[in-house]
Chain A
């Protein structure tokens, strides 16, 4: 399971995904094997949880 992350200043989605099981941050880097695992998970029809809304 994965979760999107938003920039707390702009509210924009960041190019990083959070692995829910341990909170790890996984960058959108095709050379990163955890990102490759995320892409595989997504290709199987899964959808990451939406990011928390940013509160000022």
Chain B
């Protein structure tokens, strides 16, 4: 019986030509999170027309120099996803907009430095990576995007072709690691940006296929999706892995992918009357203080908000509707939040729950996005 051989980052198997590692490992192969767009805490399955840049689907940050030029939605247009996938990101252009030289429309994922440090970028030992994805558009032509460092002083514009409209097309792009520039190492900062352009101006576009010292977001000559009213652009199965060839998409269990997303953003809401999210006690008749523990440890001390105030239950006797809330502490594990009441039956140090009564839902959002 033969056994495998273990090298630095490759585990050989007893099957000739079959290895684990160096792009074939099944753990942390894909440096992207939610590359198949199955987690959608921000907007669920609703269509959104962003008016400013920001996160709209987990781990994906949408950029726009002008408001309302495109809408986005998980599974927009309800086309059949490519084989092996249930979800995709769908972009729909809402006008025929001519992108200015310094304007940009697109979506990026910022990958945390802890998950890119081993790439060794910025050193002589920089590893080659391969980007792969499936794309579907009403447009044909050359499209573009880029990889950049956190300081946006290094960029690698890439291009890819869609030759048949309204058909899922598999794309694979191999990128030699950058041996120059400053790349964040093993920290909770931004390791790299991966961007897909929907319309990027000439000043922010560069020659595809080589590293540059400029902040290029896309490739020169790339098709502008926002330039055609009603144009659609769908994408899924996005994977960035070590190695010079694309391997199969790294499927993760739903709960695993959700937990990975929750390191950056959590949306928690009661689902029925009498649901409770927090326990605490009263400071006096108008302030009741709670500790809220997050689902997973956050990337950094997060911003905490309570967009729906729910209700506070006093000693299992009576519910009171808060008028506002105050976050007095937040760290990577939990937050202290006060529910402010105009009046209540609370005395000092009464036991309290914070949750939902009737249709008064309680929602908590926690954000430590990059």
Tell me whether chain B's interface is mostly helix, strand or loop, or mixed: strand
Asked whether B367 lies within 8 Å of A34 as measured between CB atoms, the reply is yes
Please name all residues of chain A whose beta carbon is closer than 8 Å to the beta carbon of B76 when the two chains form the complex: none
Interface size class of A (residues with CB under 8 A): 10 to 19
Shortest distance in angstroms between A18's beta carbon and chain B's nearest beta carbon?
Answer: 7
Establish whether residues A34 and B283, one from each chain, have CB atoms under 8 Å apart when the complex forms. no
Check A24 against B327 for contact (C-beta < 8 Å).
Answer: yes
B residues 351-370 near A (Cβ < 8 Å) are 365, 367-370
> Which of B306, B328, B331 is in CB contact (< 8 Å) with A23?
B306
Interface pair A25/B287, CB less than 8 Å apart: no
Contacts of A33 in B (CB 8 A): 369-370
Which B residues lie at the A interface, using CB under 8 A? 188-189, 283, 287, 299-307, 324-331, 335, 337-338, 365, 367-370
Interface residues of A (CB under 8 A from B): 5, 7-8, 14, 16, 18-19, 22-27, 29, 31-35
Q: Is there contact, CB below 8 Å, between B326 and A25?
A: yes
Report chain A residues within 8 Å CB of B328.
5, 7-8, 14, 16, 25
Chain B nearest CB from A25 CB (Å) reads 2
Residue of B306, B307, B330 contacting most chain A CB atoms (<10 Å): B330
A residues less than 8 Å from B367 (CB atoms): 34
- Cβ 8 A contact of A16, one of B188, B287, B325, B329: B329
Task: Quote the shortest CB–CB distance from B14 to chain A (angstroms).
Answer: 45
CB distance from B300 to the nearest CB of A (A): 4
A29 and B287 CA atoms in complex are apart in Å by 26
B189 A25 Cβ-Cβ under 8 A = no
Contact between B302 and A32, CB atoms less than 8 A apart: yes
Known contacts: A16-B327, A16-B328. The answer to whether A8 contacts B283 by CB under 8 A is yes
Contact B305 A14 (CB under 8 A): no
Q: Please indicate the chain A residues that have their CB under 8 angstroms from the CB of B302 in the complex.
A: 27, 32
With a CB–CB cut-off of 8 A, which chain B residues contact A27?
301-303, 329-331
Contact (Cβ within 8 A) B303 A24: yes
